Amino acid sequence: MHRVSRFTNSLRISRPRLGLFILLMGLLAPLLIAACGGDDPTAVPQATATNTPQAPPATATQPPPAPTNTPVQTTPTADTAEAGQSLTIALGELNGSRQSGWATLTNRGAEAEVVLSATSGISELNQIHAGSCTDLGGVVHPLTSMAGGASVTTVDATLDSLTAGSFALNLHKAGDASVYSSCGEI
């Protein structure tokens, strides 16, 4: 019986503490809910400006996307290419070379800048040929070496003249220029 009286005495002593706890929770709960924005459960979160870093732009050191058989083109109409206007084409693999890449031609007034980026270590010699990838003609514009997987050349032709004709960018296998390693039609 002594144990039962001890238990009931502890309830009498802790009851005021329990009441205080309930009172404090009753006062703090609305403050916590308001601080968390919980007063409107249907509210849509609002975007805020942050200094979150953005992904860096693609560079020549990143591997190019898988090639397609169809060039990706943003072709300007004849004689309307403005300075700085560009055309980007995919370079597709030829002869099992496993080489792919991109070529970007940029209008520089009376000239065009040709930037090539392709799988490195496969080709060095590259040129703009008359014709298409399936029927290459003669070399029209030689381009700088691709020894490092990239090449930048300014050619004596406008972007309009290159897009108006039938031309192809052709890369040759290093050590055997008779084997074509990659091609893209302008």
Q: Is the pTM of this model over 0.75?
A: no
For residue 149, what pLDDT is reported?
87
Query: pLDDT at residue 166 above 90?
Result: yes
Q: Yes or no: say if 108 and 154 are a contact pair by the CB < 8 Å rule.
A: yes
- Tokens for 108? 């520089």
Query: pLDDT at residue 4 above 70?
Result: no
Query: pLDDT at residue 3 above 80?
Result: no
Which is nearest to 6 in space by CA: 14, 18, 17? Answer: 14
Q: Per-residue pLDDT tens for 95-142?
A: 999 999 999 999 999 999 999 999 888 888 999 999 999 999 999 999
For residue 62, what pLDDT is reported?
44
**155 falls in which pLDDT band (50, 70, 90)?**
very high
User: ∠ CA(11), CA(12), CA(16), 5° rounding?
Assistant: 100
- Tokens for 135? 């029927």
- Tokens for 155? 């050619």
